[in-house]
């Protein structure tokens, strides 16, 4: 039996995912505190697993949950929100059957051997979003994007963006050049000859250029770096034992093995031609996300990354789906200096010695130097490793990239903010707002909080009550 109240051994955050989230249509949002800034006009889109069970059976990993998109529209009339599941083919089939039919990243398909082998992986569309002029895309690493309407989030169906061939995937972490409007992304084609596909699109999302680069093996490649005239891929030493996964003998997650002796492979790509400039190997580490990248006056590529010493983070994220985490997986924010012509690491330096994740910079700073980086961290009172291992992030931090000083917005006990999204002020381009969706475990409700980006340690300038609980999610974006 699934309930909304976690057991005594579980932390308050577990109640947010204890039962499937309920959709809601476009609804005006009441202010619980403060007022919406006059310069905050646009839409926040967020994606994440809305449900982690079906027919009483729990999914195997946090990454397996069915994607649900939240849209929060800020207008002169106030704020309104809509929340809908992405109507993928697999989601509709499982809804009709009221049971799990497919395997996924962290679980195999139900049934016997032949059923496991014959079943494809369900497209969960649960990782990120890309807002285009006429649609919003729900992104997931294992397939093509799903398109939804901008206002009401009605699912339109899979979208090949005018250039995705069968078997190609379109990953979750697009990079948009704020100067040209071009969009860069990648996908990994799994098979006998693993291939990295790189895509360049117009601002409308239409793919106009592609390139393919052979990979020696299949790894966990989740994000990449856009830095000036370069695209940089860091391939961690995680390798997939593909045959057990393809035969349904293990999930993809279980078939991924940490092999530090292989080191981190670095590929530097020319952003204009999409051709390989250099390939090298560095010391082993694992990363999910990069904050940003840029090229300094000397021509050196500088990359900020949230790095882990190993792949234990995967086990931790698997445990999130159970509502109780036990595995320690600690990261830190690092700065890496690269020679683009050789791909060699010149040096590494630690920027933030705190466990952190979901780093972002203002969109107008992507691919160039950014004075600030925003990310999620633990509350300052959580210093003990054992306690922080059991908690999700409860604060947002701003790192000053000139002096490495840190400003923290502590959301309070049993309150859990999502990835911070930067929204530029429409009246003052030098000013901005940081928006996050906060699950309040004290009241079992969700709110949208708006912070002044320059005064993050002060109280949120505005809090808006959502109609229902929005579970902890992954990534979002802002559309002005």
* Cα–Cα distance measured from residue 149 to residue 135, given in angstroms and rounded to the nearest whole number: 5
* Cα–Cα distance measured from residue 74 to residue 82, given in angstroms and rounded to the nearest whole number: 12
Instruction: Write down the pLDDT at residue 118.
Output: 64
* Cα–Cα distance measured from residue 259 to residue 310, given in angstroms and rounded to the nearest whole number: 9
CA distances from 316 to 240, 341, 422, 470 (A): 19, 37, 27, 21
Q: What is the DSSP letter of 193?
A: S
Domains of the chain: 12-479 (2.130.10.10)
Instruction: Write down the pLDDT at residue 119.
Output: 73
At residue 389, the 3 state secondary structure works out as helix
Instruction: Write down the pLDDT at residue 224.
Output: 98
Instruction: Write down the pLDDT at residue 89.
Output: 97
Phi, psi of 262 (to 5 degrees): -80, -15
Specify the DSSP element, H or E, that contains 230.
strand 230-235
Q: Could you tell me the mean pLDDT of each successive run of 10 residues in the chain, 480 residues long?
A: 53 97 98 97 98 96 98 98 98 97 91 70 96 98 97 98 96 97 96 91 98 92 98 96 80 95 98 98 98 98 98 98 96 98 98 97 98 97 74 98 95 98 95 98 98 97 98 97
Instruction: Write down the pLDDT at residue 384.
Output: 54
């Amino acid at each position: 039996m699934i309930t909304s109240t976690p057991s005594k051994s579980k932390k308050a955050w577990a109640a947010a995912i204890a039962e499937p989230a309920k959709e809601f249509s476009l609804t005006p949002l009441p202010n619980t505190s403060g007022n919406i800034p006059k310069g905050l006009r646009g839409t926040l889109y967020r994606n994440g697993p809305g449900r982690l069970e079906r027919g009483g059976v729990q999914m195997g990993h946090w990454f397996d949950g069915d994607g649900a998109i939240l849209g929060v529209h800020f207008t002169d009339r106030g704020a309104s929100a809509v929340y809908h599941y992405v109507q993928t083919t697999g989601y509709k089939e499982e809804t009709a059957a009221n049971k799990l039919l497919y395997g996924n990243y962290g679980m195999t398909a139900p049934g016997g051997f032949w059923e496991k082998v014959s079943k494809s992986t369900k497209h969960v569309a649960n990782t990120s979003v890309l807002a285009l002029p006429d649609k919003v895309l729900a992104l997931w690493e294992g397939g093509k994007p799903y398109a939804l309407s901008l206002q009401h989030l009605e699912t339109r169906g899979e979208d090949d963006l005018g250039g995705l061939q069968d078997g190609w995937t379109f990953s979750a972490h697009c990079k948009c050049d704020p100067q040209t409007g071009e969009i860069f992304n990648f996908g990994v084609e799994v098979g006998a000859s693993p291939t990295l596909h790189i895509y360049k699109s117009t601002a409308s999302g239409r793919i106009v250029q592609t390139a393919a680069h052979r990979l020696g093996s299949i790894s966990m490649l989740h994000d990449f770096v856009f830095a000036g005239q370069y695209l940089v891929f860091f391939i961690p030493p995680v390798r997939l034992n593909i045959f057990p996964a393809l035969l349904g003998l293990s999930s993809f997650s279980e078939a991924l093995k940490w092999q530090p002796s292989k080191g981190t492979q670095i590929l530097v790509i020319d952003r204009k031609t999409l051709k390989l400039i250099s390939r090298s190997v560095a010391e082993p580490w694992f990363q999910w996300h990069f904050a940003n990248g840029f090229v300094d006056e000397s021509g050196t590529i500088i990359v900020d990354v949230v790095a882990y010493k190993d792949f234990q983070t995967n086990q931790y994220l698997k445990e999130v789906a159970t509502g109780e985490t036990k595995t320690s997986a600690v990261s830190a924010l690092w700065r890496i200096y690269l020679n683009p012509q050789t791909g060699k690491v010149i040096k590494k330096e630690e920027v933030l010695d705190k466990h952190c994740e979901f780093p972002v910079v203002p969109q107008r700073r992507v691919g160039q130097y950014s004075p600030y980086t925003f990310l999620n961290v633990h509350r300052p009172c959580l210093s003990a490793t054992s306690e922080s291992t059991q908690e999700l992030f409860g604060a947002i931090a701003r790192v000053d990239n000139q002096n490495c000083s840190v400003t923290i917005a502590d959301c309070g006990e049993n309150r859990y903010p999502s990835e911070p999204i930067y929204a530029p002020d429409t009246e003052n381009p030098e000013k901005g707002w940081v928006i996050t969706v906060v699950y309040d475990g004290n009241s079992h409700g969700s709110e949208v909080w708006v912070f002044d980006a320059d005064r993050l340690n002060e109280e949120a300038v505005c809090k808006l009550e959502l109609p229902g609980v929005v579970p902890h999610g992954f990534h979002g974006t802002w559309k002005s």
